[in-house]
Amino acid sequence: MGPLRDIETRADCERLVRAFYSRALTDPLIGWIFVDVAKLDLEKHVPVIASFWETVLLGARSYSGGAFAPHAVLHMKAGLRAPHFERWLVLWRETVDELFTGPRAELAKEHALRVAHAFHRRLQELPSGSDAPALSLTLHGPGATATSSGE
């Protein structure tokens, strides 16, 4: 594989989204949200999310949905917590960094951080499936010293 380049086309957005979901769907902390709760149909979802990122990163205006509402529904069912969002961000940043480099790649990570924080803040104001136990995330392995918990 040659040197990394920046995100430049819709195909790049789709490649990024597919690579991210290949990680997220099997992730031990958040995979169940996509598979068991959202019952995500990847072939329907990828074009929508690629349009979201194409709009954010390339100014395409191909996305016209409201991104928050589906997450509010998931929160009502599963009680989304800070560690879910943090894990999503880790997987997203790793995927972007693995595939791309440049100003749009940096924007993809910055925008994801803003969206995750805004969604988490808004979701805390809603009722949730909070019979779900509070989560605690402990990182293991080389160099893992951070511990994050619950809300």
CATH number of the domain enclosing 59 = 1.10.490.10
Averaged pLDDT of the chain:
84
Question: 63 near 27, Cβ under 8 Å?
Answer: no
User: Could you tell me which residue, 125 or 57, shows the higher pLDDT?
Assistant: 57
What predicted TM-score, i.e. pTM, was given to this entire model?
0.78
Residue 5 lies in a domain: no
Question: 120 near 85, Cβ under 8 Å?
Answer: yes
User: Could you tell me which residue, 127 or 129, shows the higher pLDDT?
Assistant: 127
Residue-wise pLDDT tens digits, 61-92: 887 777 777 878 887 887 888 889 999 999 99
Tokens encoding 23: 């990680």
Structural domain of residue 61, as residue ranges? 10-149
Distance CA 151, CA 92 (A): 21
Residue 37 lies in a domain: yes
Number of domains the chain is built from: 1
Residue 1 lies in a domain: no
